[in-house]
Structure 1
Amino acid sequence: MKLTVLDTERTNNFNDADIQGKMAALWQHNMLAVKKASHEGLTVACVYYKYESNYQGDYSVALCKEDSNNGVFDTNKNSWKEYPVDSNDKLGVIHTWQKIWSDEEEHKIDRVYTFDFEQYLPNGAISILVAIG
Protein backbone atom coordinates (compact mmCIF):
# COMPACT_ATOMS: atom_id res chain seq x y z
CA MET A 1 0.00 0.00 0.00
CA LYS A 2 1.19 3.50 -0.80
CA LEU A 3 0.21 6.58 1.17
CA THR A 4 0.13 10.21 0.10
CA VAL A 5 0.49 13.10 2.58
CA LEU A 6 -2.43 15.39 3.39
CA ASP A 7 -0.69 17.42 6.12
CA THR A 8 2.29 17.14 8.48
CA GLU A 9 3.64 18.35 11.86
CA ARG A 10 6.84 17.96 13.90
CA THR A 11 6.52 16.98 17.57
CA ASN A 12 7.81 14.94 20.52
CA ASN A 13 5.95 12.49 22.77
CA PHE A 14 7.55 13.73 25.97
CA ASN A 15 8.49 17.41 25.74
CA ASP A 16 6.00 19.05 23.36
CA ALA A 17 3.31 20.64 25.53
CA ASP A 18 1.13 21.13 22.42
CA ILE A 19 1.32 17.56 21.05
CA GLN A 20 -2.41 16.90 21.55
CA GLY A 21 -3.32 20.20 19.89
CA LYS A 22 -1.07 19.46 16.92
CA MET A 23 -2.54 15.99 16.46
CA ALA A 24 -6.11 17.26 16.77
CA ALA A 25 -5.40 20.05 14.27
CA LEU A 26 -4.06 17.56 11.71
CA TRP A 27 -7.37 15.71 11.80
CA GLN A 28 -9.59 18.81 12.02
CA HIS A 29 -7.92 20.64 9.12
CA ASN A 30 -8.21 17.56 6.89
CA MET A 31 -11.57 16.16 7.98
CA LEU A 32 -13.19 16.55 4.55
CA ALA A 33 -10.34 14.66 2.83
CA VAL A 34 -10.43 11.96 5.53
CA LYS A 35 -14.21 11.51 5.17
CA LYS A 36 -13.92 11.39 1.38
CA ALA A 37 -11.16 8.77 1.53
CA SER A 38 -13.16 6.60 3.93
CA HIS A 39 -16.28 6.96 1.78
CA GLU A 40 -14.22 5.80 -1.23
CA GLY A 41 -13.07 2.73 0.73
CA LEU A 42 -9.51 4.00 1.15
CA THR A 43 -7.32 3.55 4.19
CA VAL A 44 -6.39 6.66 6.18
CA ALA A 45 -3.12 6.62 8.08
CA CYS A 46 -1.17 8.66 10.57
CA VAL A 47 2.49 8.12 9.57
CA TYR A 48 5.40 8.73 11.94
CA TYR A 49 8.75 9.38 10.26
CA LYS A 50 11.99 11.43 10.29
CA TYR A 51 12.74 10.15 13.77
CA GLU A 52 15.50 12.09 15.52
CA SER A 53 16.48 8.96 17.46
CA ASN A 54 13.79 6.67 18.87
CA TYR A 55 10.29 7.15 20.30
CA GLN A 56 11.69 9.55 22.90
CA GLY A 57 13.10 12.00 20.32
CA ASP A 58 11.49 14.42 17.90
CA TYR A 59 9.68 13.05 14.86
CA SER A 60 7.39 14.14 12.05
CA VAL A 61 3.81 12.96 11.79
CA ALA A 62 1.78 13.05 8.58
CA LEU A 63 -1.90 12.47 8.07
CA CYS A 64 -2.15 10.40 4.89
CA LYS A 65 -4.56 8.56 2.65
CA GLU A 66 -4.12 5.51 0.49
CA ASP A 67 -2.95 6.41 -3.02
CA SER A 68 -1.51 3.62 -5.16
CA ASN A 69 -0.35 6.04 -7.88
CA ASN A 70 1.24 8.94 -6.02
CA GLY A 71 2.00 7.63 -2.55
CA VAL A 72 5.27 8.74 -0.96
CA PHE A 73 5.22 6.13 1.82
CA ASP A 74 5.35 2.56 0.47
CA THR A 75 4.44 -0.03 3.09
CA ASN A 76 5.84 -2.83 0.92
CA LYS A 77 9.38 -1.63 1.67
CA ASN A 78 9.41 -2.74 5.32
CA SER A 79 8.62 -5.70 7.54
CA TRP A 80 5.90 -4.89 10.06
CA LYS A 81 4.70 -5.85 13.52
CA GLU A 82 0.98 -5.13 13.72
CA TYR A 83 -0.70 -4.10 16.97
CA PRO A 84 -4.52 -4.08 16.89
CA VAL A 85 -6.14 -1.15 18.72
CA ASP A 86 -9.09 -1.79 21.06
CA SER A 87 -11.83 0.32 19.46
CA ASN A 88 -13.88 0.15 22.67
CA ASP A 89 -11.15 2.05 24.53
CA LYS A 90 -11.34 5.86 24.04
CA LEU A 91 -7.58 5.97 24.58
CA GLY A 92 -6.92 2.80 22.60
CA VAL A 93 -4.37 4.36 20.26
CA ILE A 94 -2.39 5.86 23.16
CA HIS A 95 -2.54 2.61 25.13
CA THR A 96 -1.35 0.67 22.09
CA TRP A 97 1.62 3.01 21.60
CA GLN A 98 2.49 2.53 25.29
CA LYS A 99 2.44 -1.25 24.70
CA ILE A 100 4.75 -0.81 21.69
CA TRP A 101 7.20 1.28 23.74
CA SER A 102 7.12 -1.33 26.50
CA ASP A 103 7.78 -4.13 24.00
CA GLU A 104 10.72 -2.15 22.65
CA GLU A 105 12.16 -1.51 26.12
CA GLU A 106 11.80 -5.23 26.92
CA HIS A 107 13.54 -6.14 23.61
CA LYS A 108 10.45 -7.98 22.33
CA ILE A 109 10.64 -6.04 19.06
CA ASP A 110 13.52 -4.54 17.08
CA ARG A 111 12.23 -1.28 15.59
CA VAL A 112 14.10 0.21 12.64
CA TYR A 113 12.57 3.73 12.70
CA THR A 114 12.09 4.18 8.96
CA PHE A 115 8.41 4.98 9.38
CA ASP A 116 5.50 3.59 11.40
CA PHE A 117 1.80 4.18 10.97
CA GLU A 118 -1.63 4.03 12.52
CA GLN A 119 -3.96 2.41 9.99
CA TYR A 120 -7.60 3.51 9.98
CA LEU A 121 -9.61 1.14 7.78
CA PRO A 122 -12.94 2.14 6.21
CA ASN A 123 -14.71 -0.50 8.37
CA GLY A 124 -13.59 1.33 11.54
CA ALA A 125 -10.81 -1.07 12.54
CA ILE A 126 -7.58 0.54 13.75
CA SER A 127 -4.13 -0.95 14.08
CA ILE A 128 -0.61 0.36 14.51
CA LEU A 129 2.16 -1.05 12.35
CA VAL A 130 5.78 -0.56 13.38
CA ALA A 131 8.71 -1.23 11.07
CA ILE A 132 10.92 -4.01 12.42
CA GLY A 133 14.31 -5.44 11.50
Structure 2
Amino acid sequence: MTYKLDKVTIRLKNDAEGIGKIRELFADIVSGDIPLLFNSDKELIEGIAPVSEYSNYESDESGEYDLSVIAVEKEFFKNLENEVSKGKFVKYDVAGEDIITCAQTAWKQVWQDQKNKKINRSFNIDYESTVPEEFTSDGKAHCMLYIGVKP
Protein backbone atom coordinates (compact mmCIF):
# COMPACT_ATOMS: atom_id res chain seq x y z
CA MET A 1 0.00 0.00 0.00
CA THR A 2 1.30 3.44 -0.97
CA TYR A 3 0.54 6.40 1.28
CA LYS A 4 1.67 9.96 2.02
CA LEU A 5 1.40 12.22 5.02
CA ASP A 6 0.05 15.78 4.89
CA LYS A 7 1.55 16.87 8.20
CA VAL A 8 4.00 15.74 10.87
CA THR A 9 4.23 17.43 14.29
CA ILE A 10 6.78 17.53 17.12
CA ARG A 11 6.73 19.45 20.42
CA LEU A 12 9.87 21.39 21.36
CA LYS A 13 11.53 24.50 22.75
CA ASN A 14 14.03 26.93 21.23
CA ASP A 15 17.04 25.31 22.87
CA ALA A 16 19.88 23.04 21.72
CA GLU A 17 17.75 19.90 22.14
CA GLY A 18 14.88 21.48 20.18
CA ILE A 19 17.17 22.55 17.34
CA GLY A 20 18.49 18.98 17.22
CA LYS A 21 14.92 17.67 16.93
CA ILE A 22 14.25 20.09 14.05
CA ARG A 23 17.36 18.95 12.17
CA GLU A 24 16.46 15.29 12.69
CA LEU A 25 12.88 15.87 11.53
CA PHE A 26 13.97 17.63 8.33
CA ALA A 27 16.62 14.99 7.62
CA ASP A 28 13.90 12.33 7.83
CA ILE A 29 11.60 14.36 5.55
CA VAL A 30 14.28 15.10 2.92
CA SER A 31 15.43 11.46 2.88
CA GLY A 32 11.85 10.25 2.43
CA ASP A 33 11.90 8.29 5.70
CA ILE A 34 8.89 10.40 6.68
CA PRO A 35 6.68 10.38 3.55
CA LEU A 36 5.71 14.04 3.40
CA LEU A 37 7.42 15.11 0.14
CA PHE A 38 7.60 11.53 -1.06
CA ASN A 39 5.03 8.76 -0.92
CA SER A 40 5.71 5.59 1.06
CA ASP A 41 7.49 4.14 -2.00
CA LYS A 42 9.91 7.13 -1.80
CA GLU A 43 8.61 8.65 -5.05
CA LEU A 44 8.68 12.47 -5.07
CA ILE A 45 5.21 14.01 -5.08
CA GLU A 46 4.96 16.81 -7.66
CA GLY A 47 3.49 20.23 -6.93
CA ILE A 48 3.93 20.40 -3.17
CA ALA A 49 6.32 22.28 -0.89
CA PRO A 50 7.14 21.84 2.80
CA VAL A 51 6.10 24.65 5.14
CA SER A 52 6.81 24.86 8.86
CA GLU A 53 3.79 25.72 10.98
CA TYR A 54 4.39 26.95 14.54
CA SER A 55 1.41 26.68 16.88
CA ASN A 56 0.11 25.70 20.30
CA TYR A 57 2.53 28.07 22.03
CA GLU A 58 2.91 27.48 25.76
CA SER A 59 3.65 31.19 26.22
CA ASP A 60 6.00 32.96 23.80
CA GLU A 61 9.16 31.98 21.91
CA SER A 62 10.80 30.93 25.20
CA GLY A 63 8.23 28.19 25.97
CA GLU A 64 7.28 24.95 24.29
CA TYR A 65 5.39 24.95 20.99
CA ASP A 66 4.34 22.56 18.23
CA LEU A 67 6.31 22.52 15.01
CA SER A 68 4.39 20.90 12.19
CA VAL A 69 5.81 20.43 8.75
CA ILE A 70 2.96 20.49 6.28
CA ALA A 71 2.81 19.66 2.58
CA VAL A 72 1.18 22.56 0.70
CA GLU A 73 0.31 23.54 -2.85
CA LYS A 74 0.75 26.99 -4.50
CA GLU A 75 -2.70 28.14 -3.37
CA PHE A 76 -1.51 28.05 0.25
CA PHE A 77 0.90 30.95 -0.38
CA LYS A 78 -1.75 33.00 -2.20
CA ASN A 79 -4.04 32.58 0.81
CA LEU A 80 -1.25 33.62 3.21
CA GLU A 81 -0.52 36.75 1.15
CA ASN A 82 -4.23 37.59 1.38
CA GLU A 83 -4.03 37.26 5.17
CA VAL A 84 -0.99 39.60 5.18
CA SER A 85 -3.01 42.20 3.26
CA LYS A 86 -5.76 41.90 5.90
CA GLY A 87 -3.23 42.61 8.68
CA LYS A 88 -3.47 39.14 10.24
CA PHE A 89 0.17 38.30 9.48
CA VAL A 90 3.38 40.25 8.98
CA LYS A 91 5.67 38.89 6.29
CA TYR A 92 9.46 38.73 6.59
CA ASP A 93 11.44 37.84 3.47
CA VAL A 94 15.17 37.33 4.04
CA ALA A 95 17.87 36.10 1.64
CA GLY A 96 21.20 34.63 2.73
CA GLU A 97 24.05 32.26 1.96
CA ASP A 98 22.35 29.11 3.27
CA ILE A 99 18.96 28.19 4.73
CA ILE A 100 20.16 27.88 8.34
CA THR A 101 21.77 31.33 8.41
CA CYS A 102 18.86 32.77 6.48
CA ALA A 103 16.26 31.38 8.90
CA GLN A 104 18.27 32.50 11.94
CA THR A 105 18.51 36.04 10.52
CA ALA A 106 14.77 36.14 9.80
CA TRP A 107 13.80 34.96 13.29
CA LYS A 108 16.24 37.39 14.95
CA GLN A 109 14.54 40.18 13.01
CA VAL A 110 11.11 39.04 14.27
CA TRP A 111 12.33 38.89 17.88
CA GLN A 112 13.94 42.33 17.55
CA ASP A 113 10.76 43.82 16.08
CA GLN A 114 8.78 42.21 18.89
CA LYS A 115 11.16 43.60 21.52
CA ASN A 116 10.97 47.06 19.93
CA LYS A 117 7.15 46.77 19.77
CA LYS A 118 7.05 47.06 15.97
CA ILE A 119 4.85 43.96 15.94
CA ASN A 120 2.42 42.53 18.48
CA ARG A 121 2.62 38.76 18.00
CA SER A 122 -0.46 36.69 18.65
CA PHE A 123 1.48 33.47 19.41
CA ASN A 124 -1.41 31.67 17.76
CA ILE A 125 0.12 30.42 14.50
CA ASP A 126 3.15 31.33 12.38
CA TYR A 127 4.51 29.89 9.12
CA GLU A 128 8.00 29.53 7.66
CA SER A 129 8.99 28.65 4.12
CA THR A 130 12.67 28.22 3.34
CA VAL A 131 14.15 27.57 -0.09
CA PRO A 132 17.75 26.33 -0.37
CA GLU A 133 20.11 28.32 -2.57
CA GLU A 134 20.38 25.54 -5.17
CA PHE A 135 16.68 25.98 -6.01
CA THR A 136 16.62 29.77 -6.50
CA SER A 137 17.39 31.92 -9.53
CA ASP A 138 19.66 34.29 -7.57
CA GLY A 139 21.74 31.54 -5.92
CA LYS A 140 20.75 32.67 -2.41
CA ALA A 141 18.70 30.87 0.19
CA HIS A 142 15.37 32.48 0.98
CA CYS A 143 13.34 32.39 4.18
CA MET A 144 9.82 33.76 4.34
CA LEU A 145 8.15 34.05 7.70
CA TYR A 146 4.48 34.82 8.16
CA ILE A 147 4.06 35.94 11.75
CA GLY A 148 0.58 36.03 13.26
CA VAL A 149 -0.17 39.39 14.87
CA LYS A 150 -2.89 40.85 17.03
CA PRO A 151 -5.05 43.55 15.44
* TM-score calculated relative to the size of structure 1: 0.75
5+ unaligned residues in a row in structure 2: which ranges? 1-5, 39-43, 137-141
Structure 2 partner of 1:12:
13
Per the alignment, in what secondary structure is the counterpart of residue 27 of structure 2?
Answer: helix
Which residue does the alignment assign to 1:48? 54
Equivalent position of 2:97 in the other structure: 88
Structure with the greater alpha carbon radius of gyration: 2
CA distance in 1, matches of 2:143, 2:105: 13
Shift of 1:43: 2.8
- Is the CA contact (8 Å cut-off) linking 1:44 and 1:121 kept in structure 2? no
Which segments of 5 or more consecutive residues in structure 1 lack a partner in the other structure? none
Decide whether the 8 Å contact of 2:103 with 2:130 is kept in 1. Answer: no
Aligned 1:71-110 pairs, distance under 5 A: 75=80, 79-89=88-98, 90-110=100-120
Cα shift at 1:29: 1.5
Percent identical among aligned pairs is 24
Structure ranking higher on relative contact order (CA contacts 8 Å, 6+ apart)? 1
RMSD: 2.7
Q: Does 1:34 align with 2:33?
A: no
Q: Does the 8 Å contact 1:43/1:121 carry over to 2?
A: no
Q: What is the distance in 1 between the residues matched to 2:111 and 2:37? A: 28
